[in-house]
């Protein structure tokens, strides 16, 4: 497997682990000084360190009935970057659907995610997901 395919595999592993709310599994692909940025102005927006990313994984596990089923629409790798267009489908603990669309830009070094930038519908997060998380 070449470096670009290996980087894509790291992203697939991250998405699968987050989808299952498997914090331990997510931790295996996050670099120790990982930085994540979620765009927008909702409660999940802003910059997070590794511990905060793992905390968000916990929150997703508590807010959903069975995690989030992520489907990769497209994935492109170049240099140390992987771009992934993703759809997520989920049922929240309150019975409401939470189906969002995402674009992720990952930076990967030595098999670990060092940086993650995430774009998603922040209004949907505020209106549906955050209400279920409380």
The Cα-based distances of 34 to 54, 86, 124 in angstroms read 11, 21, 26
pLDDT (average), residues 87-103: 94
pLDDT (average), residues 112-118: 97
HSE, CB side, 13 Å, CA atoms: give it for residue 97.
Answer: 5
**pLDDT beyond 70 at 126:** yes
pLDDT (average), residues 12-25: 97
So what's the pLDDT on residue 58? 93
So what's the pLDDT on residue 116? 97
Which CATH number belongs to the domain containing residue 99 in this structure?
3.10.450.50
**pLDDT beyond 80 at 105:** yes
Domain that holds residue 39: 3-133
Token pair listed for 31: 């670099």
Report the distance separating Cα 56 and Cα 44, nearest Å: 8
**Mean pLDDT for the chain overall:** 92
**pLDDT beyond 90 at 110:** yes
pLDDT (average), residues 34-44: 88
Q: How many structural domains are present in the chain?
A: 1
């Amino acid at each position: 497997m070449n470096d670009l395919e290996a980087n894509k595999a790291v992203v697939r592993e991250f998405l699968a682990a987050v989808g299952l709310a498997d914090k331990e599994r997510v931790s295996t692909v996050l670099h120790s000084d990982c930085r994540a940025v979620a765009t927008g102005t909702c409660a999940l927006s802003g910059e997070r360190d590794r511990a905060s990313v793992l905390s968000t994984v916990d929150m997703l596990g508590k807010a959903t009935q069975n995690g989030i089923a992520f489907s990769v629409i497209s994935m492109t790798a170049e240099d140390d970057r992987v771009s992934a267009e993703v759809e997520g489908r989920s049922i929240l603990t309150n019975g409401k659907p939470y189906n969002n669309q995402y674009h992720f830009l990952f930076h990967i070094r030595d098999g670990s995610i060092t940086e993650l930038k995430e774009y998603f519908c922040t209004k949907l997060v505020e209106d549906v997901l955050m209400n279920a998380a409380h």
